[in-house]
Structure formats: structure tokens, C-alpha cells
């Protein structure tokens, strides 16, 4: 029988949480481990040579914190490299993490940019991401 309350799940069961934690080591915003932290896939763009103008726009929006425009990027291609924008949320605000996600099976994801964001500025990000899209690094059980 399953209890219908809050549960904890280890980050090892969530591949994305595990991968982000391994790539980053600690939270870029507060420098602590990822206990009590959440992540969301904020934006994604296909990263092929012919997509350089789109990728430039993607990175420019990320650099100037144009969150609404960045959030509009939602194209993913499982047979191509992709550029992923993750948001990490913690008690001190959060961070933007840009990750190159290669199609090639034996290549690892690569962090391209880390940008800590203060709590006040991070409020706009939180408003753009529905609660159902935030995933805990450790889920409640």
C-alpha cells in the first residue's frame, strides 16, 4: 500500500538531477549541495551548424536576462546536438546553466555558461515556469 503523502526520492533516480549535480558539484548561486533545490528546463534550441543565428540569439537572451524571449525557445531534435537552458532554484535565488547536450552517444553533456541570479531578479524566472515544471534534486516521498 502506498502512502499518499510526501515522499523523498534520491537524486540518483532522476537522471537530469544526477547529471546536473555531477556537472556542477555545488549550487552556483549559494555554493551548497543540492538539498532543497529545484531545477527546470527553461529553454532548448537545436544546435547544428545551420542554427548558428538562432543559437546566437538564444545565448544573447541568456546573457542579458531577457527571460521572456529565452523562454520562447522550445525546439528539440533527438537526432542532433541541442543547447539546453536549465534554471536552478534555491533559497538565495537561483542560477542559469547552459548545457551543450550532444547527440553522440559517447559524448558527455558540457556546461557552457553558469550565471548566478539574485533572489529579486529570479522572481521573474519563477513567474515564467509553472510549478509542475520545477523538479527537486531530491523528491519528497
Any domain includes 83 = yes
Q: Residues 49-57: what's their mean pLDDT?
A: 95
Confidence at residue 139, expressed as pLDDT on a 0 to 100 scale: 55
Any domain includes 2 = no
Any domain includes 112 = yes
Tell how far CA 23 is from the center of its chain: 12
- Closest to 89 (Cα-Cα) out of 70, 65, 116: 116
Any domain includes 72 = yes
At residue 119, does pLDDT exceed 80? yes
Any domain includes 70 = yes
Q: What is the mean pLDDT of the chain?
A: 88
Any domain includes 92 = yes
Count of domains for the chain: 1
Q: Residues 101-108: what's their mean pLDDT?
A: 88
Q: Residues 12-24: what's their mean pLDDT?
A: 87
At residue 2, does pLDDT exceed 70? no
Any domain includes 61 = yes
Confidence at residue 97, expressed as pLDDT on a 0 to 100 scale: 97
At residue 43, does pLDDT exceed 50? yes
| Structural domain that includes position 47 | 8-140
Local confidence band at 82 (pLDDT 50, 70, 90 cut-offs) = very high
Any domain includes 1 = no
Local confidence band at 120 (pLDDT 50, 70, 90 cut-offs) = confident
C-beta separation of 100 from 83 below 8 A: yes
Q: What is the spatial distance between Cα 101 and Cα 104, in angstroms, rounded to a whole number? A: 9
At residue 12, does pLDDT exceed 50? no
Non-local (6+) Cβ contacts of 83 within 8 A are: 44, 45, 46, 47, 55, 58, 59, 98, 99, 100, 101, 112
The secondary structure element, H or E, covering residue 9 is strand 8-9
Q: What is the total residue count of the chain?
A: 141
Q: What is the spatial distance between Cα 99 and Cα 84, in angstroms, rounded to a whole number? A: 5
Amino acid at each position: 500500500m502506498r502512502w499518499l503523502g510526501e515522499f523523498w526520492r534520491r537524486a540518483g533516480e532522476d537522471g537530469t538531477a544526477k547529471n546536473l549535480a555531477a556537472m556542477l558539484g555545488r549550487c552556483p548561486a549559494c555554493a551548497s549541495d543540492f538539498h532543497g533545490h529545484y531545477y527546470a528546463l527553461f529553454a532548448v534550441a537545436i544546435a547544428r551548424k545551420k542554427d548558428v543565428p538562432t543559437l546566437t540569439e538564444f545565448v544573447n537572451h541568456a546573457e542579458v536576462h531577457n527571460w521572456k524571449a529565452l523562454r520562447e525557445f522550445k525546439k528539440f531534435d533527438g537526432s542532433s546536438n541541442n543547447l539546453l537552458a536549465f534554471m536552478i532554484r534555491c533559497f538565495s535565488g537561483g542560477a542559469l546553466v547552459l548545457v551543450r547536450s550532444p547527440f553522440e552517444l559517447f559524448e558527455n553533456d558540457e556546461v557552457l555558461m553558469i550565471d548566478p541570479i539574485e533572489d529579486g531578479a529570479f522572481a521573474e524566472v519563477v513567474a515564467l515556469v509553472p510549478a509542475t515544471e520545477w523538479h527537486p534534486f531530491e523528491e519528497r516521498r
